[in-house]
Amino acid sequence: MCVQEIWLHLLFQLFLFKLSSQANDKVKGYWGEWGPFSQCSATCGPGFMKKERVWIHDPADGEKAQEKWTSIVNFACVDEKYPNCPEDGRWTGWTGWSACTKACGSGIRDRTRECYGQLYGGKDCDGENKQKEDCNPDPCPPLPKKFDLTQCKTDTNFTCESKKMCIPVFQKCDGTVQCHDGSDEMKCSFSRGHHGHIYYDLRRNGGSSNFVSIWWHCFGLVVMKPFFMLIF
């Protein structure tokens, strides 16, 4: 209960007390002694405790002498040992999936969430804060039967990370895996006019080999299929 509600409650009790005092002038009798305070209504955080007293009628009041009148006063209270109630932790939403660790040959991607709001000895969040799943299960292209690293020219060819294969440089980051280790479609970036750079990681949806979604850093989402690109 908030502090404003406590004060409103106390003001209302004071109003009732004033009415009862005015009634004393019209009814014969007197108020008895106040009783002891009750226990605080809350075991943690703010609560109320109350004490009561009873109106003692004058026998001359006749029928009214049989009525029981009680005055109650409430006071705000807080247990010194537990001034605040425990608040259990709550999960944030899941982040988006990370980039797949491999462009082909079955990699792993993950996503995370955070536990927040745990206060005053409250419970920790139930469940895991990280999930993993397999991605890009399609097999990588095979190594060439014959390969000579000297055949790879830097100006026209891209050398795969393993240095066991090279491909034409224009095939790098085209949305189709060409290298046997998938390195031609990992950590790709390219520029577009004067609008800056677009960075993306290759992600295959559901393991499909003909659909690749690209996250566009500057402008939005680029959806790419082999040999065909849509920008919107």
CATH of the domain at 129: 2.20.100.10
The answer on 99 and 64 residing in a single domain is no
The answer on 103 and 58 residing in a single domain is no
In a domain, 228, yes or no: no
pLDDT of residue 131: 97
3-class state of residue 66 by DSSP: helix
The DSSP H or E segment spanning 91 is strand 90-91
pLDDT of residue 203: 38
In a domain, 205, yes or no: no
pLDDT of residue 79: 82
- Angstrom distance (rounded) from CA 122 to CA 116: 11
Look at the chain and report how many structural domains it folds into: 3
Please report, for the domain that includes residue 58, its CATH number: 2.20.100
pLDDT of residue 188: 74
**Separation of CA 31 from chain center:** 56
Q: What angle do CA 109, 224, 191 make, to 5 degrees?
A: 90
**Contact status, residue 87 vs residue 45, Cβ threshold 8 Å:** no
In a domain, 77, yes or no: yes
User: Of 48, 66, 84, which closes a domain?
Assistant: 84
CA distances (Å), origin 78, targets 3, 6, 11, 46, 115: 12, 12, 19, 5, 29
The answer on 42 and 72 residing in a single domain is yes
In a domain, 22, yes or no: no
The answer on 153 and 112 residing in a single domain is no
In a domain, 179, yes or no: yes
- Please give the chain's pLDDT, 232 residues, in tens: 455 555 666 666 666 555 555 555 566 778 889 999 999 988 888 898 999 998 887 777 666 666 778 888 888 998 888 889 999 999 999 999 998 888 888 899 999 999 999 999 899 999 999 999 999 888 888 888 887 787 777 778 888 878 878 888 888 888 788 888 888 887 776 443 333 333 334 433 344 333 333 333 333 333 333 333 333 3
The answer on 126 and 94 residing in a single domain is yes
The answer on 155 and 128 residing in a single domain is no
Please report, for the domain that includes residue 154, its CATH number: 4.10.400
**Separation of CA 58 from chain center:** 65
Domain containing 154: what range?
A: 140-187
In a domain, 193, yes or no: no
